[in-house]
Amino acid sequence: MDTATALLKRIETCEGTVRAFTTYDPVRIRMEAAQAPAGPLSGLSVGVKDIIDTVGYTTEHGSPIYAGNHSRGDAACVTQLRNAGAVCVGKTVTTEFAFFRAGPTVNPHDVTRTPGGSSSGSAAAVAAGMIDIGLASQTAASLTRPASYCGTVGFKPSYGRYAAAGIKSLAPSFDTLGTITRDVATAARADAVLKGPVATTSHLSPTVPTRIALCRTPHWDEAGEGTRHAVEEAARLFGAHVDVVELDLSDFSDAASLHITIMSYEASQALATLHNPEQKEGAGYIAFPNGNTVVSEDENMFLSKTVKHARPLVIIERDAFEIMISDTTEKLCPIEIVVAETILFHRDSTDGIRVGVNDAVNVIPRAMNGTMQSKAGRIGFILSVTQ
């Protein structure tokens, strides 16, 4: 069975239930598969998050404002993947502008539960076996959360490692392109292509780690029992082979609130003209949903400098370890995703589905899945499952 036929058969079997795609074209899939050049990604299929420009398909950013919008060209990442021999299958569902209301996608492991967002379609399509690589993005947890909920490998690389040209921006200080795959090996193959000839971080290679950090974050006590168990079990399994050291991150307890403040301000700037294109009212200020906090542009600049000052502190601490293990989500996959019609998200959740995990590092006696972390030419990963 040729690549295109196998792809279409799997999509035909799953898509009616999972609803991971905004659009795909069987004719175009067959054409791309037949014409794809030989390269490092030959035989692999790619789904593109619908905030990324893609020739041959609409790019609607999950919003009716952009209904029927066609890109003038491919985003840099799409060009790189196509030139490397990958077949672009179609566009995957995103929450609106990778931030607001959720799309129709369900979790392939249990259709009553959320796949997570905002990269919901990419994670669900990979988990269902409809694509090999899902292009995704992250400004807060938009890649790692759906990767966790869908039992896949989410690779959120270092900021700036991949080219951002042709991707709808939400908060430039944090926007990061990444991938969702079923195994670490495929993520590494995609990384070798997407990082291009020059990257801000080094080449990934499968080096066995020697020291691992177990990070109990400032919100560790808020995590559900299933989440804490998964992280501690991962540390136990790693501990049979390498040193596992607990890392206290309490000094960064304010990081989440700083992140939300800056992200909300930048998102308001990025999206301000879409609701009212005639004028940019209050462009220098953003009112938060609770009505109590207003951040001026000057205050935002101060907060940005604060975060930039904190980054070297994190790097210094991190450089003592090859791998850092931490929880990705507070609780197991919730029944449904609830997104408020405001700048901030509704974050309530309940314990939910338990999913299997995939091979990540061959020194682990039991299969495990996670978010890879690149450092000094090694492949590591931050645990990204709730089991």
Three-class SS state of 70:
strand
Q: In terms of domains, do 63 and 165 share one?
A: yes
Q: Is residue 245 part of a domain?
A: no
Predicted local distance difference test score (pLDDT) of residue 385: 31
Predicted local distance difference test score (pLDDT) of residue 383: 31
Q: Are 377 and 207 in contact (CB under 8 A)?
A: yes
Q: In terms of domains, do 10 and 86 share one?
A: yes
Q: Is residue 217 part of a domain?
A: no
Q: In terms of domains, do 24 and 143 share one?
A: yes
Q: Where are the alpha helices (DSSP H) in the chain?
A: 3-18, 26-35, 76-83, 120-127, 144-149, 184-194, 225-239, 255-275, 297-318
Indicate the residue among 306, 335, 367 that finishes a domain. 306
Separation between Cα atoms, residue 89 and residue 6, nearest integer Å: 12
Question: Element (H or E) spanning 212, and its range?
Answer: strand 211-216
Q: In terms of domains, do 54 and 178 share one?
A: yes
Per annotation, catalytic residue among 45, 63, 118, 119: 118
Separation between Cα atoms, residue 150 and residue 271, nearest integer Å: 29
Separation between Cα atoms, residue 283 and residue 271, nearest integer Å: 10
Predicted local distance difference test score (pLDDT) of residue 230: 87
Other CB atoms closer than 10 Å to residue 208's CB: what's the count?
12
Beta bridge partners of 353: 333
Separation between Cα atoms, residue 234 and residue 61, nearest integer Å: 36
Q: In terms of domains, do 20 and 98 share one?
A: yes
Predicted local distance difference test score (pLDDT) of residue 364: 25
Separation between Cα atoms, residue 218 and residue 220, nearest integer Å: 6
Q: Are 174 and 265 in contact (CB under 8 A)?
A: no
Q: In terms of domains, do 97 and 22 share one?
A: yes
Predicted local distance difference test score (pLDDT) of residue 217: 79
Q: How many domains does the chain have?
A: 2
Predicted local distance difference test score (pLDDT) of residue 239: 83
Indicate the residue among 178, 194, 210 that finishes a domain. 194
Q: In terms of domains, do 183 and 268 share one?
A: no
The CATH number of the domain holding residue 58 is 3.90.1300.10
Predicted local distance difference test score (pLDDT) of residue 302: 67
Q: In terms of domains, do 268 and 174 share one?
A: no
Separation between Cα atoms, residue 121 and residue 62, nearest integer Å: 11
Separation between Cα atoms, residue 205 and residue 150, nearest integer Å: 26
This prediction's pTM: 0.79
Per annotation, catalytic residue among 45, 49, 119, 375: 49
Three-class SS state of 200:
coil
Q: In terms of domains, do 30 and 139 share one?
A: yes
Q: Is residue 231 part of a domain?
A: no
Three-class SS state of 148:
helix
Three-class SS state of 4:
helix
Q: Is residue 340 part of a domain?
A: no
Q: In terms of domains, do 271 and 128 share one?
A: no
Q: Are 326 and 215 in contact (CB under 8 A)?
A: yes
Predicted local distance difference test score (pLDDT) of residue 386: 30
Q: Which domain holds residue 300?
A: 255-306
Predicted local distance difference test score (pLDDT) of residue 279: 42
Q: What is the 3-state secondary structure (H, E, C) of 68-109?
A: CCECCCCCHHHHHHHHCCCEEEEEECCCHHHCCCCCCCCECC
Predicted local distance difference test score (pLDDT) of residue 1: 59
Separation between Cα atoms, residue 142 and residue 94, nearest integer Å: 9
pLDDT, averaged in runs of 10, over the chain (387 residues): 88 98 97 96 98 97 94 96 98 94 94 94 98 97 95 94 95 95 96 78 64 84 87 87 82 76 81 58 42 55 62 58 82 59 30 30 27 30 31
Per annotation, catalytic residue among 119, 142, 148, 384: 142
Active site residue 118: yes
Q: In terms of domains, do 167 and 298 share one?
A: no
Predicted local distance difference test score (pLDDT) of residue 275: 58
Separation between Cα atoms, residue 152 and residue 369, nearest integer Å: 7
Q: In terms of domains, do 152 and 20 share one?
A: yes
């179609």: which residue's tokens? 90
Q: Is residue 219 part of a domain?
A: no
Predicted local distance difference test score (pLDDT) of residue 313: 54
The encoded tokens of residue 302 equal: 């101060």
Other CB atoms closer than 10 Å to residue 194's CB: what's the count?
24
Active site residue 308: no
Q: Is residue 206 part of a domain?
A: no
Predicted local distance difference test score (pLDDT) of residue 308: 63
Indicate the residue among 281, 306, 331 that finishes a domain. 306
Q: Are 80 and 196 in contact (CB under 8 A)?
A: yes
